[in-house]
Structure formats: C-alpha cells, structure tokens
Amino acid sequence: MAVQTAIRRFNKRFRRTVSFDYNDIDEYQLEITTYCNAACPQCPRNLSGGNLNPYMPLVRLSREAIDTAFLPELCTRLRQIFFCGSYGDPIMHPDFLDILRDFRKKSPELWLYIHTNGGVHNTDWWEELAHIINGYGKIDFGIDGLEDTNHLYRQGVNFGQAIDNAQAFIRAGGKAQWNFIVFKHNEHQLRTASILSKIIGFENILFRGTGRFLNHETLEEQDTWKVTPRKADPYEIEVTSIDEYRNSSMKRLNDLKAEYPDMKDYFDSTPIKCDACMGNKVTITAEGLVLPCNFFEHNLYDARFKDRNTMPGANDLHFINNKNQVEKFINTYGKDNLNINKYDLQTILDNNFWNDLIGSWNKKLDAGRLFECAFTCGQKLTKVWDQNKTVKNTYRYYITGNKRGLGLSLSEYFFADGRSRVDGFDITSDVEAIVDQSVHYDVFINNAFDGPPDEAHANYAQVNLLMAVYKRWKELNKTGWIFNIGSVGEQSIVAPDPAFETYRVAKAALSHASKQCTAGFRQGLVPFKTTLITPDRLDTPLSRSRDSWTGNGIDCEDIAKFIEYTINVNSNTVIDEIVLYVNLTHD
C-alpha cells in the first residue's frame, strides 16, 4: 500500500507538469516508412538478420497525410520533429526531401532531427538535405564499426557509402553525430572511430551500450546473438567485454533480481517515468497511428509477440489470457480513432486513451497497469535509456536522508531512490553499502548529515561518505554527478552555541572536500562532476515547526531546478558551488 501511495504521489506531480494534452505536445516522432535498406540482426523488422518479419506491414505514411496533420500554426509552436522508425529508415521514403521542405516552409526554424544508417542515395541528395535543414536540425548516423566491422551488425549498409554521405552532408553545412553501438567485434576500433569522426566533422561520436541482448522471457542477458542472414552463413555477435560500454541496466540486473525475487513485484510497484510524458512528445507510425512511443507499435507487430520462440522473446506479463496487453488496450479505443488518416491531431489527443493510459500507471498489473510501461520506463530497469545517456530525463537519482526535509523534497521531485535512518541505513556506519548502491545511479546527492550536533555519533560522516563515493567512482571510471548539500552555517566564524561547532566544522570540512573533488574533474583525473550546494534556511515542514521560523526559507524546488541546470551545462564544464541566501524577514 505504501508503494502504491508513493506512485500516486509521483504521478500527481507528474501530471501537473506534463501531459498528453495537444497544447503541451511539442515534439512528434515520425516513422514515415517501414521500408529499410538494412537488416540489423537485433531489429524487429527482420528475424535475426534474415527473413522479413511476416507480421509487420510494409507501408509509407503519405506526404499528403503529414501535410494535412501538421498545420502551419502547429509547426510554429513545435520544438522538434524527430524522424526515426521502429522498423524503417526515413531516407527510404521516396518523398522524404519534399516532406522536409513542407515542414521547413511552414516553420523556417523548426528543428528537424533524423536517425538513419546513411546507406542510400548519392552525395548530391545529402547535400540537398543539408540545405533544406538549413542549420535547424541534426542527423544521427548509425554506423557501428569501420570498413571491416560495420556490416556485421548493419547488414546491407556499405560503410564507405555511409561515410561519404555523412561527409557530404556535413560539408554542405549539416550538423551530425555518429552513433556507434559497441559490440565485442568492434570494441577495438573506438579510438580509431573517434579520430575519424573528428576528421569527417561529426560534432560528436556517441558510443552506446546496447540492452538488446536481454532475453525478455527469462530476464537474463545473453552473451551472444545468433545472426541468420538470408544469403550467407550464420554467425554470432557478442556483448562487449569493455565494462564502460556495457548497458547499465544489464550490469545491475542481478542486483535487481536479488531485491525482487519475484520480478512481478518490481513491475507491479515501480514508478513509471514515461519518457513520452516527460518529453512532451508522441509517436506517429507509418500507418498513421498516434501512440505514446514506438514500443507500443512493437507490441502490435514484433514477431516475438506472435511467435514467442522468436528472439528476444516475450515475457508472460506482456499477455492477459494470451492476448497482448498493449494491443488489447489500443483496440479498446479503436485504431481508427488514433489515426491521422482519419482524424486531426487534436481530436486524437482528446481521446480518453491518453488519460486512461496515465491512470493505468497507478494500478498493479492485474488491475490494468501496462507491463510495457513498467518494463521500459520503470525506475530501475531502463535498458533503452541507458543506451543514450544524453537523455537526461531518464537519469537515476540516489539521495541520502531522503525521508524528510530537503531530501524528501528532492526525492519527490526526481522520484529518486535513496536511504535514510528510517530504512536502517546510517551514513555514519553504512558507508560501504551506500557506496555499493551509488554506482548504479547517474546522480548521487549527499544530503544526510551525521548530526544533530549534540549527538555522540556525529563523526564527519558526510565527508567520509563523499570521499568513499569519489574513490569508488574513480576506480570504475564512472561518469555522473555528485551533489553535496552544505550550509551557509559553515561560514560562521563564531558559533552561536558551542554545540553548533560540530555542525559548522563538519559542513566546512564537506565544503573543502567537495571543492577538491570538483578539481578532480577540472584537472582531468575523473570523468564525473562534483558540485557543492550551500543553502541558507530551507522552507520545509521541519523548519516551519521550529520556534525560529520567520516565514521565509529557500524553496526546495529551486534547489532541484539548479541540479537540473547543472546536469545540462556543457560536458566540459563543472559548477564548483552555488550559495543561496534568503531574506528571513522578507514581507
């Protein structure tokens, strides 16, 4: 019951800030075709790199349907159109350039973002694409290796042609990123690929740790995947041996299973942090269906949901009475009622489908919670988002002292995990256990203090914990953020009470230690960033209960927003400290 209450509290805040309201949606992901030139072994478009998925419709979303759905007044308020498919590559649509021209005509500055393998068309076509985008957009090229390895995963894609096309696009003024999935067969080429990406002019190269080796039926990661090409001998691809590039969710899968011996308990209780809701976006499939994400489309047509012997399999929890849960949910509202070939976008987004979907997240699986939502956007198993840690809305937060005051406020804001004395964890005595947990999170907030100052056990535990986390993260070469919650009280030269010295000196020690850790990133010693937050009196129920309360304190949400800002600064930049003061007598 406590877990369900927590989920409802999270979703209450969640709905207050983001929804599937037509006026809130500012990004549409368009799958304009299910046609593709490639046969990637772990793509559901085909069966392990061989025969075409027989359950997938071969369709294209017409230029006319897109033009009708996206009126000029809509395009001028949108943030982004993202061309990426569940099954197809947008460059395979014969009208793709004209579709882009239509969008550009309606909104000269609308961001046009494209995912592609880059393996078709000549360089003139790619130069024209850059001119149409005209600086307001970007392409991510999926190239998983070099000349001798790319084809092992990107079957059907000529490495040289993809590189030539990327180079033509960049030279014509286009912005581009190289996305590189790391496998065992290409892990030795990362340095060479990095050098090549700079020579060609890519803005960045992103090395991704795939979660596609997960067997969905058994929830076990496989070491290998058998590839069965249509016109060549079978072979295997393997998970990378470089720990840094292994999928984070896969690395902590055993820990999750130890925490939940019956994994249904996890999927029943995990808060659902919907990427679509958080990002104010929805997906439109090549059939014209408006869905929250492409994972809903996978449930409609992936072969593994029709023949459960097809890798990577399907979990029993995907089904109710042998019927796919998501497919049944969609059919309840009628596919035609969600289709832009039948209705306009506002009418579709006014459908009860969307509110009922959000409502389902408060339930347990047996009562209507969608397993796909819990599986893909749950709190602790996020294999999809772990592939791309530039998706900041999916970062995991861990907070010490998360059951009251600032810790509780931050925990509710980020819906973070954490530990406190209420759980039997004490930062003065359980440092190793907390450090062990911290490595599974992107953001560690060192909030709990080892006082109050008159307690005998006060022992600079916040500093000791920081140094232990720093040491472990450094050993693992881990990326992420450490935030230390200090206090302006440490700046007092003369303490108002002798007992206060324990607090003041401990917080002063934390301040110095935090800045030393910040210097570690600045000097290139560690890849993670450390920031000190030094607040004055906070506005919390605890502060309000004290006789010294004057009616003014720092809003904890402002601190949460600063943490978000810090995470979003340029990757080469670290914020050393922020100090927040409050006018205690402000009227």
What are the pLDDT digits (tens) for 7-56?
444 444 443 455 899 999 999 999 999 999 999 999 999 999 999 999 99
CATH number for the domain spanning 537: value is 3.40.50.720
Q: What is the mean pLDDT of residues 141-159?
A: 98
Indicate whether 244 pLDDT > 50. Answer: yes
Q: What is the pLDDT of residue 2?
A: 43
pLDDT tens for 342-380 read: 999 999 999 999 999 999 999 999 999 999 999 998 878
All residues at 6 or more sequence positions from 33 whose CB lies less than 8 Å from its CB, including other chains:
59, 60, 61, 85, 88, 89, 90, 92, 93, 286
- What whole-number distance in Å separates Cα of residue 27 and Cα of residue 77? 10
> Which spans in 134-208 are helix H?
150-153, 159-171, 190-200
Q: How confident is the model at residue 552 (pLDDT cuts 50, 70, 90)?
A: very high
Confidence category of residue 256, pLDDT binned at 50, 70, 90: confident
Pairwise CA distance, residues 31 & 359, whole Å: 27
**Residue 67: inside a domain:** no
pLDDT value of position 478: 87
Whole-number Cα distances in Å, 170 to 80, 91, 178, 195: 20, 16, 12, 16
Is the pLDDT at 498 greater than 90? The verdict is no
Q: Collapse the DSSP code of 307 into the 3-class scheme (helix H, G, I; strand E, B; otherwise coil) and give the result.
A: coil
Cα torsion 28, 167, 159, 146 to 10°: value is -100
Q: How far is the C-alpha of 530 from the C-alpha of 512, rounded, in Å?
A: 12
Would you say residue 497 has pLDDT above 70?
no
User: In which residue are the tokens 């439109």 written?
Assistant: 284
Query: What are the structure tokens assigned to 69, written together?
Result: 């759905």
pLDDT for position 146? 98
Q: Considering the chain, what percentage of its residues have pLDDT values greater than 90?
A: 73
Q: Which two tokens stand for residue 416?
A: 């973070």
Residue among 336, 377, 387 at smallest CA distance from 357: 377
For residue 86, with 0-12 CB atoms within 10 Å meaning exposed, 13-18 middle and 19 or more buried, which class applies?
Answer: buried
Asked if residue 558 belongs to a domain, the reply is: yes
Q: In what order do the strands lie in the sheet with 204-208?
A: 204-208, 176-181, 137-142, 111-116, 80-83, 27-30, 281-284, 290-291
Q: Residue 335 corresponds to which tokens in the numbers above?
A: 């596919």
**DSSP structure class, residue 126:** H
Q: Cα–Cα distance between 330 and 281 in angstroms, integer?
A: 18
C-alpha–C-alpha distance, residues 387 and 248, integer Å: 8
Question: Does residue 89 sit within a domain?
Answer: no
User: Helix %, strand %, coil % for the chain, to 5?
Assistant: 40, 15, 40
Q: Which residue has the higher pLDDT, 386 or 533?
A: 533
Lowest mean pLDDT across 300-304, 459-463, 571-575: 459-463
Task: Please state which of the ranges 64-68, 232-236, 361-365, 422-426 shows the lowest mean pLDDT.
Answer: 422-426
- Is 350:23 a contact under the CB 8 Å cutoff? no
Tokens of 185: 């067969």
| Residue 102 belongs to some domain of the structure | no
> With contact defined as beta carbons under 8 Å apart, do 345 and 74 qualify?
yes
- Alpha carbon separation from 136 to 17, 70, 114, 202, 533 (Å, rounded): 27, 18, 12, 16, 36
Check: CB of residue 579 under 8 Å from CB of residue 488: yes
| CB 165 within 8 Å of CB 118 | yes
Alpha carbon of 268 to those of 121, 316, 452: distances in Å? 47, 14, 38
> Do 100 and 133 touch, CB atoms closer than 8 A?
yes
3-class DSSP assignment, residue 320: strand
Residue found by looking up tokens 């397993």 in the block? 371
pLDDT at position 499:
60
* Least-confidence region, from 164-178, 249-263, 282-296, 567-581: 249-263
pTM of the predicted model as reported, rounded to 2 decimal places: 0.81
Res. 450: pLDDT tops 80? no
Amino acid at 66: I
Asked if the structure places residue 418 within a domain, the reply is yes
pLDDT at 423: 78
Query: In which domain, by residue range, is 488 found?
Result: 395-580
77: confidence class by pLDDT, cuts 50, 70, 90: very high
Residue 297: predicted pLDDT: 97
CB 248 within 8 A of CB 480: no
Alpha-carbon distance 56 to 303, whole Å?
8
Total domains in the fold of the chain: 1
- pLDDT at residue 444 above 60? yes
CA–CA separation, 403 and 447 (whole Å): 11
Residue 182 in any domain: the answer is: no
Question: Distance of CA 392 to CAs 103, 396, 450, Å?
Answer: 27, 9, 31
What is the reported pLDDT for 70?
98
Characterize 130-149 residue by residue with b for buried, 16 or more Cβ atoms within 10 angstroms of its Cβ, and e for exposed: bebbeebbbbbbbbbbbeeb
Q: Average pLDDT, stretch 424-451? A: 85
Sequence-ordered list of residues with C-beta below 8 angstroms from that of 169, at least 6 positions apart, any chain:
126, 127, 129, 130, 139, 176
Can you give the pLDDT at residue 394? 64
Contact present, 450 and 460 (Cβ < 8 Å): yes
Residue 219: pLDDT over 60: yes
Whether the predicted pLDDT of 524 surpasses 80:
yes
- What pLDDT, in 10s, does the model give residues 156-213? 999 999 999 999 999 999 999 999 999 999 999 999 999 999 999 999 999 998 999 9
Give the helix/strand (H/E) hosting 221: strand 220-221
Indicate whether 215 belongs to any domain. Answer: no
Does some domain include residue 556?
yes
pLDDT tens digits, one per residue of 380-407? 887 776 666 544 556 888 999 999 899 9
The pLDDT score that the predictor gives to residue 430 is 87
224-227 and 235-238 beta bridge pairing: antiparallel
Q: Residue 235's pLDDT is what?
A: 98
Give the Cβ contact number of residue 25 at 10 Å. Answer: 23
